[in-house]
Each structure stands twice: as structure tokens, then as C-alpha cells.
Structure 1
């Protein structure tokens, strides 16, 4: 029987000798005097009290979206954030620069909402790729998008310095896409995936959230489509981030169930590329009915086998708050103190404090777990 690598998450984080704090400080003003300013490799860094180092920054550029996915928001949509509360381009770029130059961030992923709705996206990407990491390397940039309009902008985004793209697609059936997103836009998304692959960007990743009784039947068709096209499909266990009445732990489609469906249609073997802090377990896949169709498939067991012990992410929302976890119940605001005149060093110190108190895990299976107050569109993927 094939070994299921997604059942082997990193070890749970443990407090280290350099991070002795057992009770989280209340706020940045209560930070321990020995708060580390460097990670295990000696570079400036965002380290938490369990020794995890954040190198990947998720930057949400807007809470607005042109889809109304059922697992993300109600049909009527949500009340959008007022423009004056959203970070300006200059403010966004400044915080990214601080993250890279003072806190050791090496990769930036732009998210939303839908980041393609952000004016001057190309300018923000260009300014980001002009930065250099502690090692003197170009900052790696990525984009998570629903794909609408990407086909018309992929060339300009690549010229601006975009390195990778992830496109969300939960079904390739037009009627199910309409039911899921409440918009008849499937053809536009498919055109964008194909345009991204044709642009030479590698790898082009496609993200599919699998939901019980909704799109389980799409697992194999989606995999076949992406393998034939040359895109890397990653299936994701649904997490409790949308309307609260729509998610039940006992009803979710698990990574093991996704694997079993895939194994019926494809010959699967573990990919040899190192996983590191990446959330997806990767598989080399060959179509059982057409062995000329090969490629890589991924499974992200974010609920049943979380990767919290290896998490290397920090999150900046479009209104300028730091979230140290996707499921954090608290946030640390930077926008207002920045607009009040805080220096780069002061902003970096507050940011470091926010990451220091990061919890050991997302806690989905904990008794008394509560979803974040913000909807996913306002947090950023």
C-alpha cells in the first residue's frame, strides 16, 4: 500500500531555550526583555516563543471580491472596507520593505479578497521585487487569485516580477461552478489558467477546496484537466472560515478520502522534492488509462494533519493589521501607529511582538474553538 505522506506533519512546536516565555504577553508593551532579534541561522527574523521563524508574508491587498463563493460569503456579499481604512500603495510597500529589510521575510504572497481588483498591483509587485533579502537575493513573489481577468494581465504581471501564481478552482463543471460562486464565469478562469501555463510561469498551481456533497465528484476530472495542461493541482481540506453553519468536522472530506479517490484513477508515488514548510504533500501521478498523462498532484491536510509545527507565515491585512495565524482571534494594528509617525524600527518591534505570541496550533479540534471574527475575504488566503 502506498505510504500517505500527508499523515506525517512536523512535530508540535515546543518552547525553546531562547524562547522561555510560557504565558503570552498581553501586548507589545509587555514583551520579554530577551525577545530574540535573530533566528537560528543568525539573520534578523520574526520568531515566536516556540522557535518557529516566519519567512513568508501573506499580504492581503483588498477585502473585495468579484465572486460570491458559498463557503466564503453570503449571496448578497459583505460590507466592504471603506477606502480610507485600506493601506495606500505607499503604506503597503513600506510595510513590505520593513518585513524584508528588518525582519527577515523572503517571500511575499499577494492575496485578497481578489488581489487583481487592486489598482496598481503591478507597481506593488515591481517595488517588492526591487528589494533584497538578508542573503542579497530577490524577494520571491506569488499571487493567489480566482483567475478572473488574469489572462489579460499575466504578461504585465510577469514583467513586473511576479514569480508564481495560484488560481482557485473547485470544479470544471459549469453548473457546479455557478452554484458554488454564484457567478457564470468558469470559462474566464479556465482561460486564465491556460494563459498562465502558456506564459512559461512554473509551476502554475491550482487550488481546489473539497466540500462534502458539493464537488467530491470533481476530484478526478480536476486532476485530469490539470495534469493534461501541465498545472499542479492541490486539493485542500475545507477549513472553518466561512459561514459558521456550513462546516462540521465530522462531515468534511478528509485528505485520506481525497487520496483514495485519486488512487482509483491515477498511479501515485511520493514526490521526492523536499517539502520543507510547504503545506502540501506532493505525489507523482500517472493516469491509469493514459500513461502519457503525468504530473504532480498535492494534498493539503490542513485540518486532519495540520502543519502548524512547521508554519513560517505572517499575515498583513489590507487595513494594516498583523495576524500571526489564519485562525488568530487577536490582531496587532500597524496602520494607525504608522500614520501617527512611527519609525521603521518601532513598526518592526510591534510586528515582532505580534509574532512572538503566536499559538502552537490553529486549534480547530480544541474544545471551545471559535472561528476568526473576520471573514476569509478580509483575512487573505
Structure 2
């Protein structure tokens, strides 16, 4: 189905939990957040029913997020159930990678097709600063485990923050020797109004993607590499979405940029978001939510279908440069 602005909506992002084994400074306070009560979290079987209803409005792709989705019990059963739906083309996962060494093969066997691993730095000290946990070796082992399990594509998501002074060229080089797709995502101050801005980051920390690519190319030339070459849409990895992709000559993977601030892609948005407590959000940057959990528990699947239709009709045309939302990223699901 199409939303009120003529966009085909076929992608649903589902937050399985607001819990996480990291405390990233742009996502969650060091002491954590007020966690959702157990009875308010969608049960695995409820998520299964909601996805089944979502296929009726044309949902074909599902991404599981958190918090950290791998800490949710029953995730393998959920993946298997979603994959069994004939309308679903793929199920993917966004994770910090820490538990993948133990879980990647099981997730693949359950039907998971691809994975995005969130990793903002390759420097161990900086990783501990950003995540407030010294677990970089485990995250890197998670990348290895994803590749070994046959997940394809394996994407690395790095949030770019100007004041962190991350080594973007080192990240980009990861795409040369291994089939990794490194994506740089412009920092978005989501949840800033609720105090999730970590070190006081703001608009000055948004690192425009065009400048980022130029800076990577300058470093590449200094180090004796040819600059990145732009790829067309057909040459990118599965799950093209809003990213623009580039590659080094002869590289096994790609380098991508996602530009929600400097180059809006709202006109091509194809997604809805479901929070762990069962709220359907038409837009990441809007606080408008529709209560799917209540509809399911009091009215069944037909009531859920009606909520999906209502949310489709209320999906905004653009985020209109809104900064900050009432809920933080760990509570929304990204």
C-alpha cells in the first residue's frame, strides 16, 4: 500500500527490547533508562501476529532492532516464524555485534539473511569512551562470526560525529580486503530533548556526507590509494535503502553514506517503526505514535490492521528539520 504522499511502504523495523549491553553516549545515559515494564513489552507471539497483519498492507522486509535485539529471548523462534510468511522477502538485524560470536550461526540457521553491525570507532580507548564499555574485541569478533556464518551482506554502521575525530579512512579500508559494506551515518540528535545527547553534541557535530567522502579521498590519495568511485543503485548491496555507495578499485566491499541531515531522503521513505512496547511510529523524527499493542490485546488482528491503515495515512511528508524527540533511540528502535 501507499501512504498519504504516494510512497510505497514495504519495510517494518521492529524494536525487540529497550535493554542493551552497552551505554552509547548518543543513545542512553550511563545509568541506563527507566525500562519498560515486562507486561508492557510485546511478547514474541504478539510480534509474530503483528507482522502477519503487516504483510496485508504490503510489508515485505523486516529489520529487528533494540536496544540490543540479541539480548531478547526467543529471537531465533521469531526469525523463523517471520521468514515462514510467504510475503516476507528477508529478515535482517541491527546489532552491536557483541553476542554474534555465540549467536551468528544459530541466527543464520533460523533464517536471518543479513546483519548491520553498529561500530563507531576502531580505537579501543575511543570505543570505551563512546559505549562506556571496553568490549571492542568482542564487537570485532562479531564481524568475523557474521561473515563465517554466511550472513550476506554484512554492513558496518558508523555514526559520524565531528567532535570525536574518528579515523574514517581506516573504517573505509575495511571494505577492501573483505566483503564488508561500511556505511557512515550522519549524527542525528534524536532524543536530545530527553537528555540523551551524551557529551552535549548538537548541530555543530553533524558531519555532512559530501565533506566526509572528500576527506576520505584526500587520505586515500595521501596513502597511495585511488579515490572512491560512486556506484549506481544496481551495484550496491542488498537493502539499498537511503544509502549512496562508493568503492575503492578492486575492493571486495563498499563504502556508503547515509545523509538524513545534509541530504534528506524523506521523499523515498518506505518504512514504519514498531517500538518494543507496541507503538507504531510513522516517522523517526516525530513523536506521533499509534498503539498496536492495545489494539491487539483488546480487538485482535483486525484492530491491528486498522491501526496500520491509520498510521499509513498519518505518515508525514518530511521531518521538517525537527531535532530531538521525547523518546531516545534505544526506546524507538532506530
Q: Common fold, TM-score beyond 0.5? A: yes
The corresponding residue for 1:267 is 227
Correspondence list, 1:218-229, <5 A: 218-229=167-178
The corresponding residue for 1:278 is 241
Task: Provide Cα deviations, 1:65-101, integer angstroms capped at 9, x if missing partner.
Answer: 110001111111111111110011111100011101x
Contact 1:122 1:157 survives alignment (8 Å):
yes
Counterpart secondary structure, 2:255: strand
The corresponding residue for 2:223 is none
The corresponding residue for 1:144 is 94
Asked if 1:88 corresponds to 2:43, the answer is: yes
Contact 1:48 1:358 survives alignment (8 Å):
yes
Task: Provide Cα deviations, 1:282-334, integer angstroms capped at 9, x if missing partner.
Answer: 01223xxxxx6553110111111011000000111111110001111210001
The corresponding residue for 1:206 is 156
Counterpart secondary structure, 1:53: coil
Contact 1:174 1:186 survives alignment (8 Å):
yes
Count of residues paired in the alignment: 320
Asked if 1:130 corresponds to 2:84, the answer is: yes
Task: Provide Cα deviations, 1:216-262, integer angstroms capped at 9, x if missing partner.
Answer: 33201111134323211000000011445534224421101211121
**Whole-Å Cα distance in 2 between the matches of residues 98 and 109 of structure 1?**
16
Q: Which runs of 5+ in 2 are unaligned?
A: 221-225
| CA shift for structure 1 position 121 | 0.2
Q: Which of these two proteins has the greater Rg computed from alpha carbons?
A: 1
Q: Which runs of 5+ in 1 are unaligned?
A: 1-44, 287-291
Mean Cα displacement is larger for which, 141-150 or 272-281?
A: 272-281
Counterpart secondary structure, 1:166: strand
The corresponding residue for 2:206 is 252
Higher helix share: 2
The corresponding residue for 1:317 is 275
Asked if 1:67 corresponds to 2:25, the answer is: no
2:107 is aligned, of 157, 181, 191, to 157
Contact 2:208 2:259 survives alignment (8 Å):
yes
Contact 1:128 1:139 survives alignment (8 Å):
no
The corresponding residue for 1:9 is none
Contact 2:177 2:251 survives alignment (8 Å):
yes
Counterpart secondary structure, 2:163: coil
Contact 1:72 1:243 survives alignment (8 Å):
no
Counterpart secondary structure, 1:200: coil
TM-score, normalised to structure 2's length? 0.92
TM-score, normalised to structure 1's length? 0.81
Contact 1:280 1:300 survives alignment (8 Å):
yes
> Would you identify which runs of 4 or more consecutive aligned residues in structure 1 move more than 6 Å?
none
Asked if 1:109 corresponds to 2:63, the answer is: yes
1:120 is aligned, of 74, 77, 102, to 74
